[in-house]
Amino acid sequence: MNEERYAKQHLFAPIGEKGQQLLQEKHVLVVGAGALGTSSAEQLVRAGIGNITIIDRDYVEMSNLQRQQLYTEIDAKNRLPKAVAAKNRLQQLNSEVKITTHVADVQREELEKFVTGVDLILDGTDNFETRMLINDMSQKNQIPWIYGGCVGSHGLSCVILPGVTPCLNCLMEAVPLSGATCDTAGVISPAVQMVTAHQVAEALKVLVEDEKAINKGLITFDLWNHHYTNIKTSHAKKHDCPSCGDHPTYPYLSNDTKTKVAVLCGRDTVQIRPPDKKERNLNDLKQRLPQSKVKENPFLLTYEDERHRMVFFKDGRVLIHGTKDVAEARNLYHKILGS
C-alpha cells in the first residue's frame, strides 16, 4: 500500500492507519454507473477501497456528460459501455484497487452472483424496481447497502443495515420517496455530488466498522432552495415487513416480479431483455441488416432507421431509442429479431 497516497486520510482520526487497512480489505459493489455510480466509484477508488465491482447495462451518450463525471466526449462518440469506460478511467486514478466491471442488466441472477464476498452495496440506479431487488438481496445476505437518489435540485440518501435499521420496503410506506423523475424535472450536477458525498461518507463509516458514527436516518435536501433535513426513521421498521420482518419472504427476488421490459429514466428509450439469457451473436445479426444503417464496436451493435435507434448487446438486451411506448418497442424488436 502506498502510504503517501493516503497520508491525509491517515491523519483523519476516525480512519487512521488501522481504518485504511480495513478499507484495503473490503469489497464494494456499485450497482449502476450513471451520475451517482460514477461519482461514488471515483471517491471510493481514490480512498483506496481494495476491491470494487461495478455493474451497468447502458452505454455513454452525450447527454450523460453534464453530470456523469468519469466519461468523455470520445466515450460518447464511440458509444462505449459505461462499465468499460468507467474502468478505463478509474484504473488510471488508482492502480492499487482491483476494479471489476460487468456490462449487464441487474436482475436477481446477476445480484446473486455478484454479492458473494461483498461488504457493502452502493445504489447508483435510477429506478425503484432495481432498488427493491437490491434491498431484498441485502436483507437475505445480511449485507449493508446505501440508498441514494436525486432529481432536479433535490436529493436523498439513507444507510440500510440489515437487522438494525428499517429496510427500503419499510420506508416506502412511511416516507414519500417517489414522485418526480429526471424525465420530468431534470437534474443538476451539484445535487448528484451532494448525494454521493453522503453516500460515500457513510460507506467509509461502514467499511472502517465505526457503527456508532453511521447516520441511521434519511437525509433529504434541496440545494436550490437551501433546505436540508435528517429524518429519523427508526419508527418505520415493521415486524411484518416481507423483506426484513420476523418472517421475511423476500418478494422482490421472486421470478413473478422479474420484468423483461423497462422504460429508462430521462430518455425516450425502452429496454427489452429476452426471457432466456443467452449470448447474442452480433456478427450474425449484422449480416441480416442493411450495412449502411449499422455501426458497431467490440461490445455492441447499433441499427438506425428513420425514427429509432436500436442498440444490441451481447447479453441479449436491446435498447430501443426514440419511443417510450412499450408496445411499439416490442414490435420493432420482433421485426428485427423475429422472436
Output the pLDDT for position 185: 67
Query: Strand pairing of 120-123 and 98-103?
Result: unpaired
Sequential DSSP letters for 257-281: G--SEEEPTTSSEEEE--SS-----
Output the pLDDT for position 178: 53
| Residue keyed to cell 486520510 | 9
Q: CA-CA distance, 59 to 101, in Å (whole number)? A: 13
Q: What is the CATH number of domain 7-255?
A: 3.40.50.720
Nearest to 166 by CA among 248, 235, 251: 235
Output the pLDDT for position 331: 78
* Extents of the domains making up the chain: 7-255, 260-337
Query: Strand pairing of 98-103 and 51-56?
Result: parallel
Q: What is the CATH number of domain 260-337?
A: 3.30.310
Compute the C-alpha angle 60/263/286, nearest 5°. Answer: 55
Instruction: Kindly report, residue by residue over 288-302, the tens digit of the pLDDT.
Output: 888 889 999 999 999
Output the pLDDT for position 162: 97
Output the pLDDT for position 132: 92
pTM of the model: 0.85
Which residues of the chain are modeled with pLDDT < 50? 184
Output the pLDDT for position 251: 93
Output the pLDDT for position 182: 64
